[in-house]
Amino acid sequence: MHPVIEWKDGAVVMLDQRLLPAETKFIAMRSHLEVAGAIRDMVIRGAPAIGIAAAYGIALGMAELKGSPGLDQPGFLDRSFKAVSAAITSTRPTAVNLFWAAARMEDVYTEHRGDHSRLCRELLAAAEALDRADFEINRAIGRNGSDLLRDGDTVLTHCNAGALATAGYGTALGVVRAAVESGKKIRVIAGETRPYLQGARLTVWELQEDGIPVTLVTDSMAGLVMNKGMAQAVIVGADRVAANGDTANKIGTYSLAVLARYHGIPFYVAAPLSTIDHETADGAGIPIEERDKSEVTNFRGQATARPQTTVYNPAFDVTPAGLITAIITEEKVLFPEFGPAIAALQGLRRK
């Protein structure tokens, strides 16, 4: 599959995921403000992909300054970096990878701010390294998680924690891919994931591209699917994992976790270490983005309810650690108690 995000000829190029599966269209962006807008408008989405886009966007923002007379003025570069970084990080509050990537870029900035040309090269190199590393991280998550699946299992997943949400391969879907590569027969049931339909539009699409059997259901069918013994595991991605293991992920994840617990089905979170927020003690501290009500009252211009309708549209919910069977990272699979297990990993995330 073509990269979801890449740097090409001085532009950040993204696959416009809003148009999938109907259309495969790439957008070339030549300004960090365009990149910020693309993150906000969900041209790309998924915590790891948002992190990669943020890194490229910051590199692009600093490259835009080339030839600017301000470069000779004291404090100009510092102010510019802050402005670029703020434009990028103010887009979506929940995915911690956004802030993690911005912090990585700030380290590079601090080290190389003396020479603008060199700075631009180093920022781009850092973004590309982060992009490449994400792919390898996903492969490692997949390898670590694949042992949790048995030959013949069906995995219920939600939203898209796949190649389209990352540099490639995916987190939750990376586990599925690794299990398939190891010779196991694995099927997937994908919840369509209203309101934005990432499950229907993205997860189904990328698994079909890979020839992995996938069945689409509405989100409300999850209970029935579990009750009928149609799924042996739930695997989802994460937008932020708090220090105690509480996990913010796409709205509907919490319902799935409760349903899985009731039916005695393991509930796995697959996420890179960059998704762990050691600074936030528990889920209560994770900011939850609320998005525009038109996502719920419309689908591609077709109204489902009158425009004046009152809507509650949180983009994420928090699944308490107590409902999570294991958290699959590139380093190892974490089991409860997650607090000590996560603390033991602190420091590894920047390696």
Catalytic residues: 239
For tokens 């180093």, what's the residue? 122
C-alpha distance from residue 89 to each of 98, 148, 217 (Å): 6, 35, 34
Q: Which CA distances in Å does 19 have to 39, 163, 228, 294, 300?
A: 15, 16, 34, 17, 10
Pair of tokens at residue 91: 């887009």
309 part of the interface to a second copy, by CB under 8 A: yes
What is the total count of residues that contact a second copy (CB under 8 A)? 57
* 3-class secondary-structure state, position 247: strand
Q: Considering only residues 92, 104, 201, 240, which one is a binding residue for a second copy as defined by CB under 8 A?
A: 201
**Only segment of 30-38, 98-106, 173-181, 311-319 that touches a second copy (CB under 8 A):** 311-319
Alpha carbon distance 294, 222 (integer Å): 25
Closer CB to a second copy, 308 or 351, in the complex: 308
- Tell me how far, at minimum, the Cβ of 181 lies from a second copy, in Å: 22
Considering the rule CB under 8 A, would residue 223 count as an interface residue with a second copy? yes
The two three-digit tokens of residue 340, written as one number: 């000590």
**Residue closer to a second copy (CB basis): 80 or 253:** 253
Whole-angstrom Cα distance, residue 191 to residue 199?
A: 6
The one segment of 70-78, 125-133, 194-202, 270-278 that binds a second copy by CB under 8 A: 194-202
| Binders in 11-40 for a second copy, by CB under 8 A | 21-22
Q: State the sign of the Cα–Cα–Cα–Cα dihedral 224, 229, 230, 233.
A: positive
Count of all residues that appear for the chain in the document: 351
**Is residue 182 near a second copy by the rule CB under 8 A?**
no
- Asked if 214 interacts with a second copy (CB under 8 A), we say yes
| 226 phi and psi angles, rounded to 5 deg | -70, -45
Q: Which spans of this chain sit near a second copy (rule: CB under 8 A)? A: 21-22, 158, 189, 191-195, 197, 200-201, 204-205, 208, 213-225, 227, 230, 251-252, 254-255, 257-259, 261-262, 296-297, 299-306, 308-314, 317
